[in-house]
Structure 1
Amino acid sequence: MSKLPVILIVDDDEMNIVMAKSILEMKVRAEILTTSSGSSCLGILRQRKDPVDLILLDIAMPGMDGLQTLAAIRNDPSLRDSKVIFLTASADKETIVKASQLKIADYVKKPFIPEDLITRVEKHLNSPIEPPKVNDMFKDSDNIGL
């Protein structure tokens, strides 16, 4: 049996955490962790034995905001490949450019539209299936005399 993917929701607004978690629990098979700050997000990521599969990260948080948190993630060799989706109520052009430079996977606007959140999360949790290599299949059949 394969392990469930792990999603970490990071938002300073408890209502946003409750909403995102309940939306995802209805439709996405995953273990969902939550925290309310950038610094606690980094603590969770660094303490876990297994990596988190996807981070939903609020941009506007007091203390360490989402951009600072993402910069710290990208600067940590053990975390730098983490998939991050930004959560934002309003993303200005400058913030989107900075986020793109830090290689976000996607972003979701708040308030959440359930279908949008689910679709974007599933898109980044599920690895694309590679198409079969037809030429290799024929090559293999030639090697066995077919």
Structure 2
Amino acid sequence: MSKLPVILVVDDDDMNIAMAKSILEMKVRAEILTTTSGAGCLDILQKRQGAIDLILLDIAMPGMDGLQTLSVIRKNPDYADMKVIFLTAAADKDTIVKASQLKISDYVKKPFIPDDLINRVEKHLYPPIEDQEVNNIFKALDSLGL
């Protein structure tokens, strides 16, 4: 049996964490970890030796904000390609430019729309298969109702 993907939710607002965790646990087969700070995010990454498949990272947090946290993450070559989705209530142009320079995978506007959060998370956890032969097999199975 394969292990579940691991999602780390980082937000300083306990309500946002509870909401994201609840939405994800209902619809996405994954292990969900949470923390309320950028420092906590870095600590979890270190303890798990980077074994995180996706980080949902709030931008606006006291102390180390999401941009600063991601900047530290990207400085580690082992985490250079780690998938990160920013969580944001309002993203101004300057923030979007800075985020894109740090190679974010996506962003989700707060308050969360459950289907939007699920779709964006699944898109990055389970990217489409590019092999046409494999896609044809899936299409055949779908047509058989399997």
How high is the TM-score relative to the length of structure 2?
0.88
Residue type at the aligned position of 2:112: F
What does 1:1-146 align with in structure 2 at a 5 Å threshold? 1-49=1-49, 51-132=51-132
SS of equivalent to 1:129: coil
Query: For residue 87 of structure 2, what is the amino acid of its counterpart?
Result: L
CA contact (8 A) 2:84 2:106 kept: yes
Contact 1:45 1:79 in 2 (8 A): no
Partner Cα distance (1:9, 1:47) in 2 = 16
Shift of 1:63: 0.2
Q: Distance in 1 between matches of 2:78 and 2:62?
A: 25
Structure 1 gaps of 5+ residues are 134-146
- CA displacement, residues 101-143 of structure 1 (integer Å, 9 cap, x when unaligned): 100000000000000000000000003212236xxxxxxxxxx
Identical columns (%): 77
Displacement of 1:79 = 1.7
SS at match of 1:32: strand
Aligned residues: 134
Determine the C-alpha separation between the residues in 1 that align with 2:19 and 2:132.
Answer: 39
Please state how far the C-alpha of 1:77 moved relative to its aligned partner: 1.5
Q: Secondary structure at the match of 1:128?
A: coil
Q: What letter is aligned with 2:51?
A: P
Give the TM-score of the pair, scaled to structure 1. Answer: 0.88
Task: Please provide the CA RMSD for this pair.
Answer: 1.3
Structure number with greater Rg is 1
Please, which runs of 5 or more residues in structure 2 have no aligned partner?
Answer: 134-146
Q: C-alpha displacement at 1:87, in angstroms?
A: 0.1
Q: Is the 8 A contact 2:10 2:57 kept in 1?
A: yes
